Amino acid sequence: MTTTRFAPSPTGRLHVGNIRTALHNWMLAKKSGGKFVLRIDDTDAARSKEEYVDAIRADLVWLGIEADSEERQSQRLDRYDAAFEKLKQAGRVYPAYETAQELELKRKVQLGRGLPPIYDRGALELKEEERAAKEAEGIAPHWRFKLDHDEALAWDDGVRGASKFDPKLLSDPVIRRADGSWLYMLPSTVDDIEMGITHVLRGEDHVSNTAVQIQMFTAMGAAAPEFAHEALLVGKEGKLSKRLGSLGCDAFRERGIEPEALIATLARLGTSLPVEPISDRSALLSTFHLSTFGRAPAKFDDAELDRINTAIVHAMPFEAVRHRLPEGMDQAGWRAVQPNIGTIGEVADWWRLVTGPIDRIEFGAEDRTYLAQAAAMLAWSDDPWHCLTNALKDATGRKGKALFLPLRQALTGMDHGPDMGELLPLIGEAEVRARLQRAAYSG
């Protein structure tokens, strides 16, 4: 069974890149009837906050991305300790004592010599008495995973295809800090093994992590999952944007973006498939495949999201939105204003055209005479707007803008808006006549 995971760190709110990763992992699992795991990577006790854990859960619920199970790394520390001890016994991890300043100096020296800036394994050259002396000085070691320079780092990437790294050109990664806390790679590998993760889909910034983790899986006697690395999101200008890091579900909700619009946009962003206003997730799932993912950066465009959102709102049935509409607004009211809105939040402004008050417009003498005639000729029927305008056309000879615009302005206080044929029955006969008369006799 396909099992994927989304593994956010609760050190902040989800942003649009996180959301896309979560969605694609959910889709990868659900397309084949598999399992989607939410793993909270909260080993960094100093930066992790429970409020962010709650926010992550709430955002996924709002998006309709439901996890089949949830795990917390902070509750699995004993599992990482056990794996660490086994690797230590096997000689695959070792203590290192360099400070950050010493490592930076080594890096500069290597660059100056035209060498790749990788860790030189100086800690492996220390004798036992040298290690003891450092610890006697109070220098606690950090721990590195020892890469096997003879073991190839190669895999068939679900997006990038055949991928290969030379282990000699990679630093032995630090997996545990001097204070005993964990960095990302070992706990993640342990979790992927024990949680039965079969597919890891993440951003291409993790490619070198994958190369290292492949050896970790082997060192722990486990088969690696299938890896795929998708292109990162960029702004429409084609550059990585700090703004994308601040765009989260809260920001989208404030803008009135529907979760279905965000899902429809992100589901296909970076693929060869067109981004379309598809609110049916089964339709999105049926076309989801890693073979459609491209290598070029995926461009996120707010204007395109707004276009998708507007199209989805225009297709939403009354039953789906009735609990979000102004009091007293029925299906006929929704049908009247729906074509004019881009977000549900705009409904109240248009509904005011029915409930009032409306803006007052000053008309010239000729138009006031025309509106007085309209008030006198108003005869209510199943279609009062067309009955009125047809009668006025015959009586006055007006047509086009001269016929319709003064009526719209008098009845709504605007020169554009919902279809008047649908609006008049909602306003009602008495109020329609009163508005015409007020406009005719004002000023």
d(CA 143, CA 180): 9
pLDDT for position 240: 59
For the domain made up of 365-441, the CATH class stated in words is mainly alpha
pLDDT for position 191: 98
Q: What percent of the chain has a predicted confidence (pLDDT) above 90?
A: 95
Query: What are the tens digits of pLDDT across the range 393-402?
Result: 999 999 999 9
Q: What percent of the chain has a predicted confidence (pLDDT) above 70?
A: 99
Query: What are the tens digits of pLDDT across the range 189-213?
Result: 999 999 999 999 999 999 999 999 9
Helix (H, G, I), strand (E, B) or coil at 202: strand
pLDDT for position 11: 93
- The verdict on whether residue 242 carries a ligand-binding annotation is yes
The yes-or-no verdict on residue 244 having pLDDT over 80 is no
**Backbone angle region of 256, left / alpha / beta, with phi > 0 → left and psi within -120 to 50 → alpha:** left
Residues of the chain with CATH 1.10.10.350: 365-441
Q: How far lies 393's CA from each of 52, 220, 417, in Å?
A: 63, 86, 21
What single-letter amino acid sits at 252?
A: F
pLDDT for position 152: 85
Position of tokens 């799932």?
285
Please provide the average confidence, as pLDDT, over all residues in the chain: 95
Helix, strand, coil shares, percent, the chain, to 5 = 55, 10, 35
**What is the CATH number that goes with domain 79-176?**
3.90.800.10
Residues of the chain with CATH 3.90.800.10: 79-176
pLDDT band per the 50, 70, 90 thresholds, residue 434:
very high
pLDDT for position 242: 63
pLDDT for position 241: 64
Tokens of 16: 């649009």
The yes-or-no verdict on residue 8 having pLDDT over 80 is yes
pLDDT band per the 50, 70, 90 thresholds, residue 442:
confident
**Backbone angle region of 335, left / alpha / beta, with phi > 0 → left and psi within -120 to 50 → alpha:** alpha
pLDDT for position 413: 96
pLDDT for position 237: 72
Query: What are the tens digits of pLDDT across the range 253-268?
Result: 999 999 999 999 999 9
pLDDT for position 433: 97
The yes-or-no verdict on residue 443 having pLDDT over 70 is no
pTM: 0.91
Query: What are the tens digits of pLDDT across the range 15-40?
Result: 999 999 999 999 999 999 999 999 99
User: Distance from CA of residue 97 to its chain's centroid?
Assistant: 41
> CA geometry: angle at 119 spanning 204 and 128, to 5°?
135
Query: What are the tens digits of pLDDT across the range 316-366?
Result: 999 999 999 999 999 999 999 999 999 999 999 999 999 999 999 999 999
pLDDT band per the 50, 70, 90 thresholds, residue 378:
very high
